[in-house]
Structures are given as C-alpha cells and as structure tokens.
Amino acid sequence: MAEQPGVARERDNTVYDRIVVALDGSRVAEQVLPHVETLARVLNVPIHLVRVVDPSAFSLVDPTWAGSPGGLTAVLVAIEAEQTAAGEYLESLRQHLDVHGLRVTFEIRSGPVVDEIVASVRPEDLLALTTHGRTGLLRWFLGSVAEGVMRRSPVPLLLVRARKEDDNKQANRDASAHSS
C-alpha cells in the first residue's frame, strides 16, 4: 500500500528521540549547529548539548603542579573553573536555540572525551559533531575525537567537516596552547 501524503508513519529506525551534539567550546565545533537546528525542526526532536571536561588534560598543563605543595588543589581549582565555564557556555547556547523555538537540554560530563561522548547517547539518538579533518602530524599530536567517536558510537552519526579557514585558525590556537 502506498504511503499517503500528510499521513503520519509509524515509528521506524530513521526517526530519532533527540539529537546529541558534542561541543568543545570552539567556533569550529559550533559549525554543526545549523545542521542540527534544521534537523531538529524537521524531525520535531529536542537537542541535547554535551561538553566534556577531561580532568587528565589538566595534569599535562604544568607538570610542576603535581609535585608542588598545593599542586592538587591548583588542578582541582582549574577543573572546577573549566566546568563552570562549560556550564555558562552551554547555557548561552541553550538560550540562543530556545529563542529560535527549539527544545534544548545540556550536560557537562567529566572524563576521557571520546568515552564520555559515546556514553552520553541513548539507543534512539542521533549524535552530531564537527570534524576538524586534520591529517598527518597535527592529527597525531592533537588526536581525533571524531574518529574515536565514529569507531565506537552505538548510534548513527552526523559529521560536519569544518570550514578550512576556521579549522586553520583553531589549529593554530591549539598548537600555541600546547607549546606554551
């Protein structure tokens, strides 16, 4: 029997309960948002924003912290500040998307980035993120979150390739942050 226009179909595997968006706080990562906004409207599903704070990254910032008096306290304060900043960032995005009529929730997770992104999804979700598309030594040095998520995700993925000019600017900032 042919499907009639305007008649609702029964739920199938192509409809999602929500769209989970992995963000790192960068403009590059936010390039996925216009795609997600469109899909959320068409599918009439909520958006769930996720930002991961990886505590192990803070021990790499300044190796002298670990052996110095108050070093652990300094690391804990830095992690707490990053979690606060992540909450403020996600709340501002939530408000922006809410103004545009979208239903949005968010969460801050703590742990290894790929593990936490994968753990944030439910079986009926679509997971969306921007891929930086780095290759060679830069990819080896900075890693590939998108590749790790792609290999381990139990749900369908929407990967949006970053615009080259924005990705180059972000890569330069990342490289500067790692060398200082």
Residue 43: what pLDDT? 94
- Rounded average pLDDT over 48-69: 74
First to last CA, the chain: 65
Confidence tier at 122 by pLDDT (50, 70, 90): very high
Residues of the chain above pLDDT 90, percent: 56
Contacts 24+ apart (CB under 8 A), 10-16: 15/43, 15/45, 16/43, 16/45, 16/124, 16/125, 16/126, 16/156
Residue 62: what pLDDT? 60
Residue 157: what pLDDT? 96
Judge whether residue 180 has pLDDT over 60. no
What would you measure as the largest C-alpha separation in the chain, in angstroms?
74
Residue 17: what pLDDT? 96
Q: Give yes or no for a contact between 54 and 79, defined as CB atoms under 8 angstroms apart.
A: no
Q: What pTM did the predictor assign?
A: 0.77
Confidence tier at 112 by pLDDT (50, 70, 90): very high
Residue 178: what pLDDT? 41
User: What is the chain's Cα-based Rg?
Assistant: 19
